[in-house]
Amino acid sequence: MIKKFFITGTDTNVGKTIVSSILLKKASEYGYKTAAYKPISSGGKKTSNIILNNDTIILQKNSSIKLTAKEINPISFSENAPPHILSDLYNENITQNKMSLGLKNIEKKSNWIIIEGAGGWYTPLSYKDTFSSWVKQEQLTVVIIIAIKLGCINHAILTEKAIFSEKITCGGWIANNIFPENKYNIDYIKTLLNYIKSPFLGVVPYLQDQNKIDVNNIQLILPK
């Protein structure tokens, strides 16, 4: 059976890629053939034949199955802006069919897949569809990454309620310390534990050097 998890966040820049890479490493230690899929990205370097996004490089490096950058990230834009705006600007349609075909290709090679979204839960794919509609179509289990900072409690509650409202399974949430810990971090997490109904999968500590991550020192439960 193939396990597939869609990683969403309470906002943009909450650490979805770093947390995804940690989950990939941990799943690999359990013997899974792990792979990542980032169907859409914005902000990357133009190479001879593709636009290479830094998140794609990180996900590629931490997957146990070797995939090309294009397989991991089939739709990419060089500018750092909302994908649906860039899609309209450059006349490159973002279709759910293309996103699904890319996922099916990875399913042939892997049995444990992290699918990373862009921005938050309702990031638009076009002027009429959001990422959530594709997640629902694919019947993916969602994992919420919550960046521990001012405003995260409200964003987390709204995100989970939105997921539940569409009758989508939420496999859990992860607290990500994107800033050095202060005296209120533990209080944020305690509050979230009282309000968020989905399983708590653990805490990622503040990582000063994201290029040197010892996953053995990070206690996370794999989503089910």
For residue range 187-221, what is the model confidence (pLDDT) as tens digits?
Answer: 999 999 999 999 999 999 999 877 778 888 899 99
Nearest-Å Rg of the Cα atoms of the chain is 17
216 a known binding residue? no
Is 38 catalytic? The answer is yes
For residue range 65-105, what is the model confidence (pLDDT) as tens digits?
Answer: 999 999 999 999 999 999 999 999 999 889 999 999 999 99
Catalytic residue among 38, 61, 149, 190: 38
15 a known binding residue? yes
Which residues contact residue 18 at a Cβ distance below 8 angstroms, ignoring those fewer than 6 apart?
58, 176, 204, 207, 210, 213
**Domain boundaries of the chain, sorted by first residue:** 3-217
CATH number of 3-217: 3.40.50.300
